[in-house]
Amino acid sequence: MARILADLPDEDIKWLDALAFEQGKSRAQLLRDAVAAYRPNAGGGWIERGAGYWQDRPDITDGVEYQQTVRADRDD
């Protein structure tokens, strides 16, 4: 594993330290987790994991049509 040097504002460091304490992780682990979550196709992001969830639903054919049907009872 390579080491990096990054300059961050003091306020960001304070925020990272508080979050690390809250989650029981090190500051470095939080940064590793953030980079891993940001990388495309690294374990599949939430968009990729959720794509196609409703593809087999016969009651939802067109997204806009479905929204209009669901919202039909609302007043303008």
Name the residue among 32, 1, 30 with its Cα closest to residue 13.
Answer: 30
pLDDT the model gives residue 4: 92
Give the gyration radius of the chain's Cα atoms.
Answer: 21
* Residue 29 to residue 72: CA distance in whole angstroms: 48
Per-residue pLDDT, averaged over 12-41, amounts to: 91
**The two structure tokens encoding residue 61:** 């054919």
Contact between 9 and 18 (Cβ < 8 Å):
no
Averaged confidence pLDDT in the chain: 85
Indicate the SS3 state at residue 73: coil
pTM of the model: 0.53
